[in-house]
Amino acid sequence: MKEYPILAGINHPEQLRSLTSKQLDDLAQEIRDCIINTVSQNGGHLASNLGVVELTLAMHKVFSSPRDKFIWDVGHQCYTHKLLTGRADLFHTIRQQGGLSGFPKRDENPHDIFNTGHASTSISAGMGVLAGDHIQKRTNKVLCVIGDGALTGGQALEALNFAGHLQQDLIVILNDNTMSISRNVGALSSYLSQLALTVSYKRFRTVVDFTISHIPFVGKSLLRWVYRLKRGVKGIVYKENLFTDLGFKYVGPVKGHSIEKLTDVLEHVREIEGPVLLHVLTTKGKGYAHAEGDPSSFHGVGPFAIETGKVDPSLKADPKTVTTTAAFGCAILTEAKKNDKVAAITAAMSSGTGLLPFKEEFPQRFFDVGIAEQHALTFAAGLAASGMQPVVAIYSTFMQRAVDQLIHDIALPGLPVVICMDRSGLVGDDGETHQGIFDMVMFRNIPGLAFLAPQSAREIEMSLEWALGANQPVLIRYPKGATYSCGEVQDTPLEEGKGVLVKKREHSTILLISLGGLLKEVVSASDILDEKGLKCDVYQMRFIRPLNKPALLGLLQNYEQILFVEEGIGSGGMGEEIAMILSEKHSDILYDHIGVPSEFLAQATRDQLIKQCKLDHESIVARVEQIQSELRFSKVVDMVKNDKWSPHNI
């Protein structure tokens, strides 16, 4: 911390109160440098964090955290808050295994009042905390910081509705940088831009006030006329707006990069009774030219070189590697070229889900609905009801938002909506909130829904083609990162309910079954086992539902031992279903299954998490060997029991 002398002296945010204005500005610069340096090494949400340095400093100066409670929507902008609340020393560990989380976490620090990661929850949570504090006769303040992107989420609007009704002293700070991950979209976003124009209006008014009012005789009436004209021309409502209509007091818009100004405004806001919305205008990426110039690319980044803003060449993926995201982006383009009914929908994740090429080529059939997963699914259902073939591209973790829409609006009426879930399985450094490990246990038993799990680029292509021809709801899940293929055998055409035997060895008695994004680990394990003299085959499940049970049983009966490996929660997962299918017919086959433990998994790299969950190739080998030795042991016991013991018999 030597390079950040002021920051190093801050152990508690109260200390900010003794700093001069100049020291606070210097501290803001130190914090920016610290965030840029750390994120350039660990990766993280750079642009969003750089945008709220001054706002966070002013909040901590005016209010008394943790007595006053700060709730950060999404939570990806909490780095300055972490740095000011006794975590500066550990900041270099952010988003790393065993280190600080990239999001607020209650069990990490008492200043983290509420865990976040998924968008649009802060106002609901803040209302709950405030109502609870009120009942318990506490007099603290509750502040929710929500971005213009997160405000597009339905839950945020439900909460505004409730806050306006309850009329408790909630402070909502709207951090408006006109950006979601990509440029923010929707009527609300346009409305906020209109509202933001009142800043220039106010400045204009000050100048006009002074000059016109000094004109003899006509000055005052001319001034009134100019105000009217200005309002009329830009359609600006100066005081009343959507928020005041909902029962909030509205303050702003305020420029968000002067600590002094923000401090003044927050001191004023602190005294207001009833719910208040402070509208702050910030620049995403503020203070780092590369991020200001391209805030989308610097929203969430991996390690990069500070000078150039580019990824360190030594860390770049092999250019031949095709990611699952790119494979899907390519596949949907191919389908859309063949079929003009194919439409694509994203909930504010056009870049992350690989839909940018589609958006470019078919803008009429592309819909970014904002951070609104529930709406995305029911909107897709509506498109399907009108005869279109909608494809929703979404992260597995965000599908959790839309379970009822999937069941009630899509599966129940059997509407042909295809849902492509990227980042299914272990995602890594975003941690608990973003792991895509629940989708299989949540969705594998929904009637009428087909569910596929491709691995290679060709399989992603075939799965989408199959789904669009199936005339039923279909879910397709694929992992984060590179596609994986065992070669030509994996290009075998897709057959409903069946997988593919990707490794076949002579006289093998062991079968490894892979489901999800772990085929590479499973194949490596089989190679190691083969070298050790344990012959095993590898089967890749392509369908989670429907399953062709006779075909599956026909395959399974050829083996003495089967190990099922899935990248999803093991308890209640497919491994258990296979156990049941097998036990009905072949209870003599030794069967075991491994999956992700039923736990919330904190941040680490994807590879570290695979190891931690004992799903890596070494752990798979160890598991097979352990079962083999148990098998040998039970054979010996049987022989001894039957008086047939001989070392040559095992």
Ligand X SMILES: CC(=O)[C@@H](O)[C@H](O)COP(=O)(O)O
Binding residues for Mg(2+), as ranges, are 148, 177
Rank residues 291 and 349 by Cβ distance to ligand TPP and give the closer one.
349
Does residue number 77 form part of the binding site for Mg ion (CB under 5 A)?
A: no
Give dist(CA 532, CA 32) in Å, integer. 54
Rank residues 242 and 581 by Cβ distance to ligand TPP and give the closer one.
242
Give dist(CA 376, CA 136) in Å, integer. 39
Does residue number 76 form part of the binding site for ligand TPP (CB under 6 A)?
A: yes
Q: By Cβ distance, which residue is nearest to ligand X? A: 352
Rank residues 43 and 573 by Cβ distance to ligand X and give the closer one.
43
Which position among 58, 62, 251, 348 is part of the footprint of ligand TPP (CB under 6 A)? 348
Closest to 557 in 3D by CA, of 535, 534, 589, 593: 589
Residue 363 CB coordination number (10 Å): 9
Strands 543-545 vs 450-452: parallel, antiparallel or unpaired: antiparallel
Q: Side by side, which strands form the sheet with 590-596?
A: 500-503, 536-540, 510-515, 561-569, 590-596
Interface mask (CB under 6 A) for ligand TPP, residues 225-264, using x and -?
Answer: ----------------------------------------
Does residue number 74 form part of the binding site for ligand X (CB under 6 A)?
A: yes
∠ CA 14-48-296, rounded to 5°:
175
Instruction: Tell me which of Mg ion, ligand X, ligand TPP, none is bound by residue 430, counting a contact when its beta carbon lies within the kind-specific cut-off of 5 to 8 angstroms.
Output: ligand X
Rank residues 88 and 181 by Cβ distance to ligand TPP and give the closer one.
181
Does residue number 369 form part of the binding site for ligand TPP (CB under 6 A)?
A: no
Rounded to the nearest 10 degrees, what angle do helices 53-62 and 21-42 cross at? 130
Scan residues 284-323 and list those touching ligand X (CB under 6 A): 299-300
Q: What values do phi and psi take at 508, rounded to 5? A: -80, 145
Kindly report whether the peptide bond that precedes residue 493 is cis, defined as omega within 30 degrees of 0. Answer: no
Does residue number 393 form part of the binding site for ligand TPP (CB under 6 A)?
A: no
Kindly report whether the peptide bond that precedes residue 66 is cis, defined as omega within 30 degrees of 0. Answer: yes
Catalytic residue positions, numbered:
284, 373, 401
Give dist(CA 39, CA 95) in Å, integer. 9
Does residue number 352 form part of the binding site for ligand X (CB under 6 A)?
A: yes
Closest to 448 in 3D by CA, of 515, 572, 550, 546: 546
Instruction: Tell me which of Mg ion, ligand TPP, ligand X, none is bound by residue 77, counting a contact when its beta carbon lies within the kind-specific cut-off of 5 to 8 angstroms.
Output: ligand TPP
Q: Closest approach of Cβ 149 to ligand TPP, in Å? A: 2
Query: Residues in contact with ligand X, total (CB under 6 A)?
Result: 8
Does residue number 516 form part of the binding site for ligand X (CB under 6 A)?
A: no
Query: Residues in contact with ligand TPP, total (CB under 6 A)?
Result: 25
Interface mask (CB under 5 A) for Mg ion, residues 170-189, using x and -?
Answer: -------x-x----------
DSSP string, 515-582: ESTTHHHHHHHHHHHHHTT--EEEEE--EEES--HHHHHHHHTT-SEEEEEEEEESTTSHHHHHHHHH
Does residue number 454 form part of the binding site for ligand X (CB under 6 A)?
A: no
Binding site for ligand X (CB under 6 A): 45, 74, 76, 299-300, 352, 423, 430
Binding site for ligand TPP (CB under 6 A): 48, 51, 74, 76-77, 118-119, 147-150, 175, 177, 179-181, 284, 299, 347-349, 371, 373, 398, 401
- Site for Mg ion, rule CB under 5 A: 147-149, 177, 179
